[in-house]
């Protein structure tokens, strides 16, 4: 099978296309090997520090996992990556990057073959600041808002299938810049209602929670409001200001459909509580004969922070006596 390539930035376009009747399955439908997200912890390592990168993968047999069986990993990084049509080939060699770094060795571009990888920030921040301002031989336009954009590439292989995914890690330009913390998804739940009383049921890794087929049910991600950090950014007029992070929540499911592929929080525009809830309509038995289905939620902030949570439910043909799905 030919390698498949994905990029985090493509997700937005795919989400928009998912709303059209294109004949394709929705972007958030899980059916085959997928790299759902890459996370760096911390997202913006300071000079002299390091970050650990990990990935959330999905396989039909094992669901969502950071280290599924029978999958091989190949991590690498590059300060000046190429385009997708050339496999994101690096625009400089390690020797050239080390020479530009005043002879101080940069981290090996090969980050290893484990489920996680470590990237040390050993590049002189003064050099990165100069590159961001523009210098001969460097790309003409580099978006250094939030740090220098280093590319991390992951190639995963399972059987005869290979997927290449790239993500961006922002290397801090100044040691005084506070680190960004990853969003935390503490849990998942479903909401049912009987006699006007709503009951929230935990959606855990085991399928103890129940959803009724072909009935729209509220599902929620438990994310503490404290994950929304305030930082020095830009206001709507692009002027320096203290602003709150934006969050994007992607709802992946194995079956049926969700009201939204993604929900969002924007301070003063889109409420936090609304971003953490969605509605899931599992399919009819004839369309999905399995009795259980998985759901995966990925939360991203606009500064490179990524967090996730996975769960599973049992699918029912009719409403249980104790509860009915909550009304929309």
- Condensed to tens digits (0 to 9), the pLDDT of residues 189-246 reads 999 888 888 999 999 999 999 999 999 999 999 999 999 999 999 888 889 999 999 9
What's the pLDDT score for residue 155?
Answer: 97
Start-to-end Cα distance in the chain: 43
What's the pLDDT score for residue 185?
Answer: 98
* Alpha-carbon span 201 to 218, nearest angstrom: 11
- Mark the ranges of the chain whose per-residue pLDDT is less than 50: 1-22
* Alpha-carbon span 128 to 149, nearest angstrom: 10
Tokens of residue 247, six digits: 């969050």
315 to 30, 205, 321: CA distances (angstroms): 16, 15, 15
* DSSP letters for 85-152: GGTT-BSS-HHHHHHHTTTPPPPPSEEESSSEEEEE--S-HHHHHHHHH--TTS-S----TTSEEEEE
What's the pLDDT score for residue 326?
Answer: 56
What's the pLDDT score for residue 10?
Answer: 42
Q: Is the dihedral of CA 35, 36, 42, 46 positive or negative?
A: positive
What's the pLDDT score for residue 321?
Answer: 57
What's the pLDDT score for residue 167?
Answer: 96
Contact 73/154 with Cβ under 8 angstroms?
yes
What's the pLDDT score for residue 16?
Answer: 37
What's the pLDDT score for residue 323?
Answer: 53
Closest CA to 121 of 42, 41, 47: 47
Contact 247/303 with Cβ under 8 angstroms?
no
Task: Kindly report, residue by residue over 244-275, the tens digit of the pLDDT.
Answer: 999 999 999 999 999 999 999 999 999 999 99
What's the pLDDT score for residue 192?
Answer: 86
What's the pLDDT score for residue 25?
Answer: 76
pTM > 0.75: yes
Question: Residue 269: exposed, middle, or buried by beta-carbon count in 10 A (0-12, 13-18, 19+)?
Answer: exposed
What's the pLDDT score for residue 152?
Answer: 97
């Amino acid at each position: 099978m030919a390698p498949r390539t994905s990029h985090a930035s493509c997700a937005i376009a795919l989400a928009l296309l998912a709303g059209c009747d294109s004949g394709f399955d929705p972007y958030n439908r899980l059916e085959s090997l997928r790299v759902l997200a890459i996370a760096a912890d911390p997202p913006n390592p300071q000079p002299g520090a390091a970050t650990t990168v990990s990935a959330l993968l999905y396989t039909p047999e094992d669901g969502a996992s950071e280290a599924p069986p029978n999958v091989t990993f190949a991590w690498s990084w590059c300060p000046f990556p190429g385009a997708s049509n050339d496999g994101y080939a690096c625009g400089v060699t390690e020797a050239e990057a080390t020479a530009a770094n005043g002879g101080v060795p940069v981290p090996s571009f090969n980050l290893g073959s484990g489920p996680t990888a470590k990237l040390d920030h050993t590049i002189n921040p003064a050099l990165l600041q100069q590159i961001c301002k523009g210098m001969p031989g460097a790309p003409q336009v580099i978006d250094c808002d939030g740090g220098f954009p280093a590319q991390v590439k992951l190639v995963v292989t399972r059987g005869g299938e290979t997927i290449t995914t790239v993500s961006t890690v922002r290397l801090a330009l100044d040691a005084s810049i506070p680190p960004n913390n990853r969003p935390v998804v503490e849990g998942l739940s479903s909401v049912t209602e009987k006699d006007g009383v709503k009951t929230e049921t935990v959606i855990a890794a085991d399928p103890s929670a129940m959803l009724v087929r072909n009935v729209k049910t509220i599902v929620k991600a438990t994310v503490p409001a404290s994950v929304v950090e305030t930082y020095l950014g830009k206001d709507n007029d692009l002027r320096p200001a203290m602003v709150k992070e934006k969050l994007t929540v992607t709802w992946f499911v194995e079956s049926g459909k969700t009201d939204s592929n993604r929900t969002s929080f924007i301070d003063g525009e889109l409420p936090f509580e609304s971003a953490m809830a969605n509605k899931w309509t599992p399919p009819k038995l004839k369309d999905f004969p399995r009795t259980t289905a998985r759901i995966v939620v990925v939360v991203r902030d606009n500064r490179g922070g990524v967090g996730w949570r996975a769960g599973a439910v049992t699918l029912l043909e009719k409403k249980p006596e104790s509860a009915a799905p909550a009304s929309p």
